[in-house]
Structure 1
Amino acid sequence: MNPTQKRNVVMAQVNYQYGNNIFVPYAVGSLQAYAETLPDIRKNFHFQEPLFLRKDLAEVVGCMEEPAVVGLSCYLWNWEYNKSLAKAVRVAFPNCLIVFGGAQVPNDSKDFFVEHPYVDILVHGEGEFTFVSILLESLSDHPDYTSITGLSIHEKNLSTVKTPSSARIVDLSVLPSPYLAGVFDFLLNSSFLLNVSQETTRGCPYACTYCDWGGDSYKKVVRVSEQRLLDEFEWFGKNKVEYLFNCDANYGISKLDYAHTVSMLEIRTRHGGYPQKFRMCTAKNSDDRIFEITKLLSDAGMNKGATLSFQSMDDTTLETIKRKNIKMDKFSELMDRYHSAGIATYTELIMGMPGETYESSKKGVDILFEEQADTVNLYVYACTLLSNSEMNNPFYSRLHGIRSVRMPLLLAHSTPEAELSEYQNVVVGTNSMSPDDWQRTYVFYWAIQCMHCLGLTPQIAILFYKMFGVRYSDFYEKFIDHFMGMAGSLIGADIALVKDVVSQAVHGGRLDLVIPKFGETCWPLEEATFLNFVTNKESFYQEIRGFIDEFACNSGIFIEKEILDDLILYQSSLVKDPNVTELSVSLRYNLHDYFSNVRESKAILNKAPTLLKIVGDRSFGGDLETYAREVVWFGRKGGRFHHSSIVCERA
């Protein structure tokens, strides 16, 4: 209720709910916290509790109390919802001022209000100062927003008036913390588990063309005061926050970040281990400081692993997207260092960017895997055109022949939503990669991730590379070719399914799958097929054996039948099983020792009868939903799909 008859303001930053975990609406909370420091705002406006859940639109609008202003923070994952909500607000409250801000608001707004006449104002860039100016101007009998910088304004004839860009906020100390200001206190006694965001800096010094984080306007990095950050962390610990997402574009790039991490962990210890998890985006040129930060977090059990991102392994593509990678010798050194410290790593690539080809994609996998095939945990993402990225600029798109398709947004592990889907514009073709090659490349990366990186066949591929020089890309390409014409087989049926999904995606279909026996969850294709294979392990590895026999024969490779028998048995036994917790495996060759030392010159495969005793770290008792959640959803970045407790005895 608003007993003083102040003007009501409703702020919305809607996100998906994952189980009982919700994302606290930090961006709109920051706008509210700053606005409420000003006497004229407090005197004239009343902020209702911010909206943060994707609830039924009629229910949401029905709970609004004659709003004078509705502000919506827009991202890729809530753009369609926000537009629908704004339409509903316009119908229910025709005189309400509707303001859009956030990363999804297009800088090129020339025709925006023709397509979206229910919106009044767009805010470009940082919103704290700008939104306050909008609120104060709305108090006028005849508001004129054209004097406010950083806006696109809806004129009565549906044309757009765009004002000059706003200056950066260079002194972040004037912005209060929404956590410390009490904006989110209404959530503290709820049943929700809180996922929070925290800014340590704003800005990014890089200008990667696929990203909208930095660029000319935001290349200067501005830091939040250390005292505010630590005070916020006290709030997170006191209120038992589950998950903290650090909003820094390059955490670890500053010397201050290590000391901040140490202080953060000291506070966490005082609060019984809260927040439980910490997610960061590290600087692209990972170095000693980032290793030390990651080790601190890993030792505390706060992170799932270290990210070593390349985005592309192709020099032409890297030049086109304005990015430089770390050298491969440095990458191998870092991988060894993380591996020795017991820290999981994962590497990210973006497929289909300008300059990339099917062959360059294969070559990139070989470069990554040749020295680190036993530790590379690869995540490959389709290239998405972000609203304000350089890659989405019409000139850039024409120059590189970019063809994109609007398809449902892939939000891994979200719950399927039938009524209102979000969308992304995915690059499915360029001057260097046709849509047909894009599909072929997607299926190739599916095989690499599902078969190798999720642990189904890496030891098999490694042995063929080490002993016979078979490149990893050729091995998995032949794997796809072998099963492509075997739709009646387990693997062939799943490859046919993956190909069909990818083919439909080029025309606007989804790039994920829901498998009911693993819960109402949207799984990326490689995870969905992994789950299908792992629940049919015996048939799966029988078919893999058939492929290996044919592949070896066609390649002129002779390998002892006993070695292959042991290899298939060993590989199968490593993979965690939802039904089996303990097993003893008798081998005729020293495969476990061989793969434990595979990067060393002393790794020699010998006949040496061996007994492996494998004990799972937990029993799933056939509970497929729990298995999928723990091993794949939560465990993928930590590489949890293989058993870690293996005792090797000489038979």
Structure 2
Amino acid sequence: MKLLLTTLNSKYVHSNLALKYLYASAESSRRNIDIQEFTINNDDDYILTELLRKDYDLICFSCYIWNVEKTLYLAETLKKAKPDQKILFGGPEVSYDVVPFMGQHKFVDFVISGEGEGPFSEFAESMISGTPELERIRGLTYRIDGKIFVNPPAPPLVFESVPFPYLSLVCEDDKVMYYESSRGCPFQCSYCLSSIERKVRTLPMERVRSDLSYFIYKQVKQVKFIDRTFNWDRRRCAEILQYLILSDNGVTNFHFELCGDLVDEELIRLLAQARPGLFQFEIGVQSTHEKTLAACNRNSNFPRLAENVKRLKALGNIHLHLDLIAGLPYEDYASFRSSFNDVYQLKAHQLQLGFLKLIKGAPIREQAEEHGYIYRSKAPYEIISNNYMTALDLVRLKKMENLLDLYYNRGGFRRTLDFCMDSLELAPFDFYEEFADYYYLKGFQHKSHKKEDLYRIFLLYAGWKERFIPDIKNTMQELLTLDMKETLNPDAVKKFERKGWEIL
């Protein structure tokens, strides 16, 4: 029997850690298992051809909110093309409401719910043996003669028993390598699946150092830790970071998700020793509205978080990424404006304006009626409106998100944006809201723009503002020119100067 582990990643540079875990855990069955990863942007015919041409007996799909809709379409098409094709689904998007899911999608033969390493290893061995004993496999739901059978859930794994997956696979040096040193989260944020399991299971430090030494030896470009709150244990966090500082190969970057409140003096002193570019931190602020944070079971001290972010930024050697979520309970348009302004003032390298997704299994999904949530029926189940924000409010924030990504997160407009914050007599939120209104009013959203055209559009906005602030256009043109020369390569700048500021 030939098995394939596959998924659709959101981008080419991403890779799927779950598939690698499954492959490494199924040690006795590996000779019968292949791995092939695609992206959601790959053409349907290309993916279907690849899945069919090798004549696999069983194809196993790893499903998430970003890929489940396309995965379902592909799996259904596979079943039509090859009716005897066996199909297994796994992953967080299919681990909940599994019986209705299988009832609706009759082309799915098996679902593994929850952590899959143990169940999949047993399942693969059982299927390959030719005499499968499906009723013995915990966490498996399966279909026989149209009837659905649900086995008891699998117990939590001893995390240390899960092998380091990269030793049994080729290291993809052109992709982000994902790694976890712990599973679970000590916090209970209601919008997050990790809130379901409060207990944190960790790998022994000797194992962590051994695993990380592999990435360092291979000179992987980026390793992204998927630990939900990396610094929940301050001593453990410091020990790992110190090891990475001492073992730095001058190439590899390590990405972590931190709780900003828990950053302390010892961590600041340690991070001051790191090479610029060695670390990047993502800090989820989500909101600064106390009633909202309390409703989400999220304990946060924003003044302390803000001070810690400033100190991290002052080190000058760490890339900082802050997150906000629009659509949380009790956060209306006005209070979200306040949250945005609070966080923008910290001047992180990136600020992500995200939108609440009521994902399956997250506690907040059970509170939909209480807060009047209307959300999309298909993954990723993003909010449409609630009791606090209308659909139009969220559309206005979507427009702002677009401009924030184009002009702040992509970089290249530092001087001009700083000038706007200081001179336009607008709070950061009001500036992006106004700029977004202008951008959409002029129809620039209807096509993608090259980087150089973004400078031209910004100057057009400045010309519009000159009705209220005399001579601002000349000043902003000078600043945009300086930003452009710092950002674009010299040939691109010369080409821009030949074409001029008019956008065609």
TM range (shorter): 0.7 to 0.9
Give the structure 1 partner of residue 254 of structure 2. 278
Q: Match for 1:252 among 231, 254, 265?
A: 231
1:209 matched to 2:190: yes
Q: Which residue of 1 aligns with 2:21?
A: 30
Cα distance between partner residues in 2 of 1:385 and 1:290: 34
Is residue 619 from structure 1 mapped to residue 479 from structure 2 by the alignment? Answer: no
Residue equivalent to 2:385? 429
Equivalent residue, structure 2, for 1:388: 361
Residue matched to 1:196: 177
The aligned counterpart of 2:50 is: 60
Post-superposition Cα deviations, 1:446-470, rounded to whole Å, max 9, x if no partner, equal 56676777644443333466xxxx6
- SS of alignment partner, residue 209 of structure 2: helix
Partner residue in 2 for 1:168: 156
For the residues of structure 1 that align with 2:396 and 2:468, how far apart are their CA atoms?
20
For the residues of structure 1 that align with 2:285 and 2:346, how far apart are their CA atoms?
A: 16
The aligned residue for residue 288 of structure 2 is 313
Structure-to-structure mapping, 1:321-332, within 5 angstroms? 321-328=296-303, 330-332=304-306
Question: Quick one: distance in 1 between partners of 2:35 and 2:401?
Answer: 44
8 Å Cα contact 2:52/2:78 also seen in 1? no
Change (3 A) 1:231 1:209: same
Aligned to 2:394: 438
Q: Take 2:481 and 2:255, find their aligned partners in 1: how far apart are those partners?
A: 26
2:502 matched residue in structure 1: none
Question: Could you tell me the TM-score, scaled by structure 1's length?
Answer: 0.66
Distance 2:91 2:242 in 1: 32
1:100 aligns with 2:110: no
Which residue number in structure 2 is paired with residue 86 of structure 1?
75
CA distance in 2 between partners of 1:495 and 1:313 (Å): 31
* 3-state SS, counterpart of residue 424 of structure 1: coil
Q: 139-148 or 423-432, which moves further after superposition?
A: 139-148
Q: CA deviation at 1:377?
A: 5.1
Within the alignment, does 1:534 sit opposite 2:455 as a pair? yes
TM-fit CA distance, 1:280: 1.5
Cα contact 1:154–1:160 (8 A) shared by 2: yes
Could you tell me how far apart the structure 2 residues matched to 1:46 and 1:451 are? 49
Q: Deviations over 1:244-275 (max 9, x none)?
A: 11111111222122222222243332xxx342
Structure 1 residue 515 and structure 2 residue 448: aligned? Answer: yes
Is 2:276 the counterpart of 1:263? no
One of 459, 471, 474 as aligned partner of 2:419: 459
1:245-644 superposed matches below 5 A: 245-254=224-233, 255-269=235-249, 273-275=250-252, 277-288=253-264, 291=268, 295-297=272-274, 299-303=275-279, 305-328=280-303, 330-342=304-316, 343-368=318-343, 372=345, 378-393=351-366, 396-405=367-376, 424-443=380-399, 455=414, 456-463=416-423, 471-473=427-429, 479=434, 492-495=438-441, 497=443, 515=448, 517=450, 532-548=453-469, 565=471, 571-575=476-480, 581=485, 616=486, 619-622=489-492
Contact 2:284/2:322, CA 8 A, preserved across alignment:
yes
Tell me the amino acid that sits aligned with residue 46 of structure 1: N
Q: How much has 1:381 moved relative to structure 2?
A: 0.8
Q: 1:7-156, aligned counterparts within 5 Å? A: 7-18=1-12, 22-36=13-27, 38=28, 41=29, 46-52=32-38, 54=42, 56-65=46-55, 67-138=56-127, 143-156=132-145
- d(CA) in 1 for partners of 2:419 and 2:449? 30
Distance 1:438 1:542 in 2: 28
Deviations 1:71-130 (A, max 9, x none): 221122322343233234434554443221112214112321232111111111111111
Contact 1:109–1:160, Cα closer than 8 Å, also in 2? no
Q: Which runs of 5+ in 1 are unaligned?
A: 1-6, 408-422, 485-491, 502-512, 519-530, 550-564, 582-615, 627-651
Contact 1:338 1:344 in 2 (8 A): no
Once the two structures are TM-superposed, the CA of residue 361 in structure 1 deviates from its matched residue by: 1.4
How has the CA–CA distance of structure 1 residues 17 and 447 changed in structure 2, closer, same or farther, with 3 Å as cutoff? closer
Looking at structure 2, the residues matched to 29 and 324 of structure 1 have their Cα atoms a distance apart, in angstroms, of: 34
| Matched position secondary structure for 2:328 | coil
Q: Take 2:52 and 2:432, find their aligned partners in 1: how far apart are those partners?
A: 55
Larger Rg over CA atoms:
1
Amino acid at match of 1:71: C
Partner of 2:501: none
Q: Which has the larger helix fraction?
A: 2
Taking the aligned partners of 1:163 and 1:327, their CA distance within structure 2 comes to 45
Which residue identity is paired with 1:9?
L
Give the structure-2-normalised TM-score.
0.84
Alpha carbons 1:250, 1:284 under 8 Å: kept: no
Are the structure 2 counterparts of residues 375 and 34 from structure 1 closer, same or farther at C-alpha, using a change threshold of 3 Å? closer
Tell me which moved more, 446-455 or 125-134. 446-455
Tell me if structure 1 keeps the 8 A contact 2:288–2:302.
no
Task: Quote the Cα distance in structure 2 between the aligned partners of 1:59 and 1:69.
Answer: 15
Shift of residue 537, structure 1, vs aligned partner: 4.8
**Cα separation, 2, equivalents of 1:96 and 1:211:** 35
The 2-side partners of 1:315 and 1:256 are apart by: 30
Residues 327 and 389 of structure 2 are in contact (CA less than 8 Å); yes or no, is this contact kept in structure 1? yes
